[in-house]
Structure 1
Amino acid sequence: MSQGPVVQIQAGTSLRGKQVYAKEPKRPVNAFLGIRYGEAPIGQLRFKPPKPAGIWQGERDATQFGPAASQNIKNTQAGSRPFRVMSETSEDCLFLNVWTPNMNPNAKLPVLFWIHGGAFVEGTGQIYHGTAICNYQDVVVISINYRLGAMGFFTTGDAVAPGNLGFLDQIEALKWTHRHIHKFGGDTSNITISGESAGAMSVGFLIMSPLAKGLFKRAISQSGTVTYPKDAYTYQEITRIIDRKLKRLGFKGQTSQEKLDFLSGMSAKHINTKVSLFFGPPVIDGTFLPDSPSNLYKQDRYNKVDYIIGFNSHEGFLVTRMVYAGLGIEFKLDDRATFKQYLRRLVLHNYRNNQDKITDAIMEEYVGDFDFRDSERATQLFSDIYGDMIFISPSLAVAKAHSACCDTYIYMYDHRLRVSPKPEWIKADHGEELVLVFGEPHQTSFPQYFTEEEQSLSHTFMSYWANFAKSGNPNGSGLPKWPKFNKSEEYMNINTNPQSKRKYNATRMAFWTDTIGQLENGHFSKY
């Protein structure tokens, strides 16, 4: 086997990784890739909770990523990560990756544990490299895969298939981290879970879960929270959706076991192309998620950890197109009736009560007497609605709830990347901060795409994130002061000139909290 760093897992069992480098300074970072944390969830283990990976004998190669979770790769390649794409996919996907700048077991470096996004149906940990942030910030970075789509979130609404398997995978990866990360220089008592989009929602649900208690110390959610705005499905709600889908696929049975057998007999490819887009947010199963997040916050039943929550200025542009493309619908805003039709579909998917009144209220607030001859402006209006409804107002609602217990920090990112091909009115679309958080301007392959200001902005992001992982406070030497979120509702506006501000878009956010909160009859946004 080629030369490279070696870590001993136990007597007679080791992993050999490789050394990787950021642009400057060129000190080595040790990368251990494709580490199995769970047994292959195939055959009898499909639709079962993860089984911890067994211990092997001898030295195992850890220089290549393991397969991404089985998914519809065509959808994934259309996502928002411009610099990396995944390689192979497989149902045998329970792998994680570790980057560390210091192999000393006594180093006790803070650990950033990354959960990828992708609407719970796509994505992989392998496109998020920890090289740069390890190099500059002296933290250990872990990225993981977890089961997606039907394989990760199918449920029969009872004990036959309780659901939430993708979240249980995340917990199993956290347990592996607790057992082994000190061997890579990490501190098992100082783990920060972090993620973006569905990964950010995952972070929020791990905060809600008693099964995750004690497995992490801090949390970061980028563009996603525990309310989307529907904060979780009941078994009754999700089985109604699943039953309709199974019937359209030809299912003739009745019982939960027949449903499970029907899906178990399908190929992964068929499930990914015909089934998986109908799976996503978690169900209230009584174990991973004991109740709805709104109730858990009200009942003070959640994991008390310091928390960074953030969003981008134009969250809705990319996601709107991806959602409607996934539904096979052409997104074209020609007139008021069409606009309202699209909006009502969005409302029906995300609200339980008074959907027609909610649709009318949003039309009045955002559209008014707008002249639809300006198609670009119509697109901007719908993007604003989508972003405010799905990402921004829920983020601020969760911040208000969580700040009652713990130090909470809020950010809004609004820098337009030089390489952005999107319309000029878009500053920061969904997911566009990721290249800066992971230091892509400082990876050896990509600096030519970024300005010097963007390279500096990447350092700012990495510094805030690493400082928070180290101490629970993102502030540090040379950084603009980031105040805690409290009754004054201060947040950090992150761009090439970061500065703190108060009460983000107060009038519009009050609309969601008050008007929509009342129409939804006590929804989480009214918490």
Structure 2
Amino acid sequence: MGRRAGKTSGVGDVVVLAALLGLAGGVVVPTTYGDVNGVELPTSFIGGAVFDRIYTFKGIPYAAPPVGDLRWRPPQDPAGWTGVRDAAQFGARCPQVADIQAPPGSPLNELVTYRSNSSSEDCLFLNVYTPNVSSAADLPVMLWLHGGGMGLGTADTYPAEIPTSLNNVVMVTINYRLGNLGFLPTRDAETDGNVGLMDMAKALQWVQANIWNFGGDPNRVTIFGQSGGAWGVSLLVMSPETRGLYRRAISQSGVAGIPTSRRGDTTKTETLAASLNCTTTSFDDMMSCLRSKPALDLLTYDPTVPIVGGRFLPDGLWDLMYKKQVNEVDYLLGTNNDDYGYGLLAAVPQVTADGLDRTVFEEILPAQLKYVADQFPGGNVDSIVQPTIDQYMDSDSDDPIYTREQFIELMTDSWFAAPTVLMAQAEAAHGDSRVYQYEFQHRTSVFSERPSYTKADHGDELHYMFGIPLLRDDTGASWKYSFTQEERDLSLNMMAYWVNFAANGDPSDSTGAARMRDLVTWPRYMTSSQSYLKLDVTSSADVRLRESNMKFWNEEVPRLLGKDVKTSGAEKSTWSFLLVAFSAVVSLLQ
């Protein structure tokens, strides 16, 4: 880290150049491929903004269009350009199977509404948001990986201009190839099929070479993401191919305890080829045929899975975490206390306002647990059904409300909390890595349509991380949404924790902050204490998040599914995760 390859001018030179070119309100910054002209954005629409303006640079290509023969190939350098490239508009988003929509008037629209004009396979663009384009600013850098199960989503829906206007930080958001275009098993030893992950690494290489000219410090790069983007973060942390490209990592509701494909197993690719009338007798001819097909014809509703056993991911994901074979980086990671409490629960229609019948619970459980068993090659789901019932259910209870509560907790633990704890333990085992765990617990007031039993649902923390409660309406005189003042404070606190961590490796260390906050001290997660922060309007520290359940999913279940596991205690023993946005989209399409 720390290369200054792109550093060619300071802010004074940039402003003079903009004036000479007649670019009113813009600012020109050099990159290794050519100069880009960004937009000076006033921040009056953001309540309490520290900076009265920031600079945005959109649609910057960080790799060549992955089309034609470059489809399913490692990302290549983009072509350079002469003159100044306009960076006022987002580049095209990557092709995907469906759009995600929110109810009219919902603040969720601020996070899912497309701001790009089109979808195209030529989509490897990034966006930079900065309060200071001086190459001497040396601000921490945060690179965002969007969610959507690595099969949906786009960088342009996330309003990174809001946290940038409130904090001393440079933010970068990126597109990466999705679904079968980003994760199709091949026999290419260079990729193993993980080209979507390679896109993420390529964007980080661009940041290392260029971010200094945008006010960022390449020695303080943090990768962060939510849901499928959090999977991406954890996969980069597991990959020896990404060492040195970032210093810190943040995973929000997602660590990649997910099913995978094994290097060399091209069954999925052959099935896709057969459905498109491509030959499967010759691998090279099959790939040539698939490369000739329109991008949208290649996308399916199958869950997106990474490929393990090759260069990028040398072993199974559980094995990499359990064996502590992860890159030594500072890591902040956590979950929401009802990550499976509302949106994802729509995929399980048996759960209703009246609860969940005990008999029905036991009938649907094997299908729900198959996702867990599929993470362990050769594992039999039947071996974990009864132990899961024993772990979560009182033997004589048939109360449907209780059964629903236990089902939600079971799914939240297995898909989200347990893999997060396993990764925290893996990273904390490296003594120099600073680890911080959280559980977001706030039930957001503006979501009045939510049932009373839902607390902090999957994705709720995004509103606070991206400052949605601080948006002003069109007049600038009133708040756009009816969040409470406590919730606006929670948003400011959460952004401060995240940026402090990116800047200093400690979410409680406000050194260099643009605004000081009176924050509850966030204790470091250690393998011995296992401390975490209960993140809420009034936050507090605790230890050993649902310890018995975590041991069940991280020790007993893998053992039952064929792993050699050394248990860490004698508590009741009795793992994880599906496509987040994928489940929601499928339920909407049914």
Count matched residues. 515
Structure showing greater Rg: 2
Counterpart of 2:444, as a letter, is L
Query: What residue number does 2:500 align with?
Result: 467
Write the distance in 1 (CA, Å) between the matches of 2:566 and 2:345: 25
Counterpart of 2:390, as a letter, is E
Matched, 1:519 2:552: no
| 2:146–2:225 Cα contact (<8 Å) kept | yes
Query: What residue number does 1:255 align with?
Result: 282
Out of 103, 106, 111, which is 2:136 matched to? 106
Structure 1 residues 449-478: Cα deviation after superposition (integer angstroms, max 9, x where no partner): 311111000011011011101110110462
Query: What residue number does 1:148 align with?
Result: 178
Counterpart of 2:492, as a letter, is H
SS of corresponding position for 2:541 = strand
Matched ranges for 1:43-122 at <5 A:
43-75=68-100, 81-84=108-111, 85-86=113-114, 87=116, 88-122=118-152
Further displaced range: 515-524 or 98-107: 515-524
Query: What residue number does 1:454 align with?
Result: 487
Query: What residue number does 2:459 align with?
Result: 431
Structure 1 residues 226-276: Cα deviation after superposition (integer angstroms, max 9, x where no partner): 323x4x43225x53445455556655523322442343243222223xx2x
Structure 2 length as normaliser, TM-score? 0.81
Counterpart of 1:412, as a letter, is E
**Identical-pair percentage:** 32
Further displaced range: 410-419 or 53-62: 53-62
Matched, 1:362 2:359: no
| 1:98–1:142 Cα contact (<8 Å) kept | yes
| 1:394–1:525 Cα contact (<8 Å) kept | no
Structure 1 length as normaliser, TM-score? 0.90
Structure with higher helix content: 1
Out of 209, 221, 226, which is 1:191 matched to? 221
| 1:316–1:430 Cα contact (<8 Å) kept | yes
For residues 261 and 439 of structure 1, do their structure 2 counterparts lie closer, same or farther at Cα, with a shift above 3 Å needed?
A: same
Matched ranges for 1:32-431 at <5 A:
32-75=57-100, 81-84=108-111, 85-86=113-114, 87=116, 88-159=118-189, 162-228=192-258, 230=259, 232-235=260-263, 239-244=266-271, 246-247=273-274, 253-272=280-299, 275=300, 277-297=301-321, 301-318=325-342, 320-321=344-345, 324=347, 335-336=357-358, 338-351=360-373, 352=376, 353-369=379-395, 374=400, 378-405=403-430, 406-420=433-447, 421-431=449-459
| Cα drift, residue 297 of structure 1 | 4.8
Write the distance in 1 (CA, Å) between the matches of 2:344 and 2:38: 43
| Cα drift, residue 337 of structure 1 | 5.3
SS of corresponding position for 1:448 = coil
SS of corresponding position for 2:308 = coil
Counterpart of 2:110, as a letter, is F
Structure 1 residues 43-93: Cα deviation after superposition (integer angstroms, max 9, x where no partner): 222111111212211111111111211012335669994423124322111
| Cα drift, residue 225 of structure 1 | 1.2
| Cα drift, residue 515 of structure 1 | 2.8
For residues 449 and 266 of structure 1, do their structure 2 counterparts lie closer, same or farther at Cα, with a shift above 3 Å needed?
A: farther
Structure 1 residues 278-326: Cα deviation after superposition (integer angstroms, max 9, x where no partner): 252311252211223444456654321111010000111356346x4xx
Alignment gaps of 5+ in structure 1: none
| 1:485–1:491 Cα contact (<8 Å) kept | yes
For residues 241 and 320 of structure 1, do their structure 2 counterparts lie closer, same or farther at Cα, with a shift above 3 Å needed?
A: farther
Write the distance in 2 (CA, Å) between the matches of 1:176 and 1:11: 10
| 2:141–2:172 Cα contact (<8 Å) kept | yes
| 1:6–1:17 Cα contact (<8 Å) kept | no
For residues 19 and 147 of structure 1, do their structure 2 counterparts lie closer, same or farther at Cα, with a shift above 3 Å needed?
A: same
Counterpart of 1:256, as a letter, is F
Write the distance in 2 (CA, Å) between the matches of 1:235 and 1:167: 15
SS of corresponding position for 2:73 = coil
Matched, 1:31 2:36: no
| 2:32–2:209 Cα contact (<8 Å) kept | no
CA RMSD, aligned part only?
A: 2.8
